[in-house]
Structure 1
């Protein structure tokens, strides 16, 4: 368990303060409790830890590098920017960290099918990869809008043997994919497992995904001490559901000298309805079996949301992020679609690194803030994924 200013996170029933929990029907609660019991049994065994550690090293390629963006830092003329290169992981993003854990858990529990949702397709690709590795059938639900935007990842999922389900209802994006995947999972929760793709959903998933992703912050802590003999002054990450961010933040929650910044999608602007700034403009409510901040209308229904980054357009957010916002431990801010595009192109052309549009939100914050900070300031940006999947979309949008 992670400790934070006297709080155990989460409590035994899955709460981070007033957020989290299991707001689900009794038969689904029994299935979630079964997953939690199995997870708590397996996570402490030497066999599981060794298998996961070996896969992280020899399959994923961990530790991922901490790269000093020297040219970018010099060009901006302020703080020194370092990139945590999760984009160099096998499958191209941080998602593989928890997907391997979930696939191994499914195998341990004897499940016959793994079901999941995906937005940008990175979770889908990572889970399809992990399921191929352990030999379990995999079914991925994806909004039709995202299928059209993220064609390279769609092809990869099919090559890896996943069954891809196109979701055309509602806005045909991430929230609708989650709804559809849950519906399929409820048909047979005894034999299926729903491998949630972020630190969202009913307990134990916000805890479980966080635990698997915490390796990111652990590595940042070790690497920063080795490379510049101190902890970073800032750790910055994009936030949709929030898995890459909580992975980067967890090791530093009790390090008061380290400022933690989560960057949400402002889309076309916070003064429009076209954004996904849940923590910035949402309010405490419930969605997908958890209590968290939610963007919703006057009738209490989730609002349609927008982000240029398919992996961030979600009207809820992880319950631990909601708790950390109220506590004031993490600063949650935003970047617009245009700032994101500018960051995508800047990093590509100044450092030769093409970032995912999701990660570009965090890069945008660094571009905006670094020039105003002292030169000795160290910023670590969690580069949560690579931009191969976004290249055609960005090229079309910018007329390249």
Structure 2
């Protein structure tokens, strides 16, 4: 049997990572979600409705684009991009949000709620809530609200209630904390639609499975375009949903090298980056076991990255497992490198990427010259409309 059929185990563990450490009041609710997912993921009606939504509402499949100009500029490897920026709402997030909305509908829930960092998950969930006629509550750190104002406006236009989070670092970790606190009192009627391959079981598996469509499409498209599989596959990793979506299409292809690109921020000093796998250690966060960046007291450390969607001191448990087994190589790109990639892709390919995705572009630019004759497929997980005001006001228009 293939990797995806056997991992995680029935308790939600990817090797030593994952599981569900929940406050007692939430245990029955997560069991209900697990049972519903197990039942519906095998349901022909659920699958048919989700496929209809993906084709006729989301606009899937998204294409793979050959980045000829960027490849010529870099020299060496040929660079390709899976264009999740062309998915409706501008990022990969809608893949699992529409599925979570459909799951909520089948479960009889009346509300969707979640955290968001860059706002893409919030926009996608607000979109799903509007589509299915559900209420929506989004928790977002005050720092990210200021950075990602266009997405805040979009969420409100779509009918969501945006809850500003003003404690601690006022960013993604605190948004998760705040949303969990709010969810406890609403769990009978609401579904906490976690925004990545993080959180207690079943979410790391469930979100990966809903994002698997990226890898399935990309594998088929790349074969059709080139007659072979890519040599290298890369994606940015914060929580890691876009990466697991792409990686899952190639996980059993031993000749395809997989790379996760973490945010190195401004330096390797604790508090200046969010490169969890690169600098973290085993620990627990938000109800699951994974690799965590910790401060001197052993608590989740402050983090920084120019990309709000990667601003998390933990990582999906499956990424921790794939790091320990060596199937995926994890590296990092800093703010400066990501911004350079942001400008280069915009100027040379006519594609403005999300700052999160720009970390994967930076990896491809860096590695292309070292891999002549090879191919690199990166996940362009989102478009940069949400980032253009912040980037131009803070850093200008590039060279």
Q: TM-score range by the shorter chain?
A: over 0.9
Q: Within 5 A, what are the aligned runs for 1:1-400?
A: 3=3, 8-271=6-269, 273-374=271-372, 376-400=373-397
Deviation at 1:305, TM superposition (A): 0.4
TM-score by length of 1: 0.98
Alpha-carbon deviations, 1:219-262, whole Å to 9, x = none? 11100110000011011000000000000001211111000000
Task: Report SS of the residue matched to 2:6.
Answer: strand
Shifted more, 250-259 versus 353-362: the winner is 250-259
CA distance in structure 2 between the aligned counterparts of 1:330 and 1:372, rounded to whole angstroms: 19
CA distance in structure 2 between the aligned counterparts of 1:131 and 1:209, rounded to whole angstroms: 17
Deviation at 1:372, TM superposition (A): 1.2
Deviation at 1:188, TM superposition (A): 2.5
- Are the equivalent residues in 2 in contact too, given 1:283–1:293 (CA < 8 A)? yes
Alpha-carbon deviations, 1:168-201, whole Å to 9, x = none? 0111100000000000001121211100000000
Deviation at 1:273, TM superposition (A): 2.9
Task: Report SS of the residue matched to 2:369.
Answer: helix
- Are the equivalent residues in 2 in contact too, given 1:116–1:140 (CA < 8 A)? yes
Alpha-carbon deviations, 1:358-386, whole Å to 9, x = none? 00000000111101111x21110100000
CA distance in structure 2 between the aligned counterparts of 1:137 and 1:2, rounded to whole angstroms: 38
Task: Report SS of the residue matched to 1:380.
Answer: strand
CA distance in structure 2 between the aligned counterparts of 1:107 and 1:262, rounded to whole angstroms: 34
Task: Report SS of the residue matched to 1:372.
Answer: coil
Deviation at 1:77, TM superposition (A): 1.1
CA distance in structure 2 between the aligned counterparts of 1:62 and 1:399, rounded to whole angstroms: 34
Shifted more, 256-265 versus 39-48: the winner is 39-48
| Number of aligned residue pairs | 397
Alpha-carbon deviations, 1:85-115, whole Å to 9, x = none? 0000000000000000000001111112111
Uncovered stretches (5+) of structure 1, i.e. residues with no partner: none
CA distance in structure 2 between the aligned counterparts of 1:132 and 1:111, rounded to whole angstroms: 14
CA distance in structure 1 between the aligned counterparts of 2:290 and 2:20, rounded to whole angstroms: 12
Uncovered stretches (5+) of structure 2, i.e. residues with no partner: none
Alpha-carbon deviations, 1:7-59, whole Å to 9, x = none? 92111011001100011122212111100000111111111111110111111
- Are the equivalent residues in 2 in contact too, given 1:117–1:124 (CA < 8 A)? yes
- Are the equivalent residues in 1 in contact too, given 2:270–2:302 (CA < 8 A)? no
Alpha-carbon deviations, 1:41-88, whole Å to 9, x = none? 111111111111011111111110100001111111110000100000
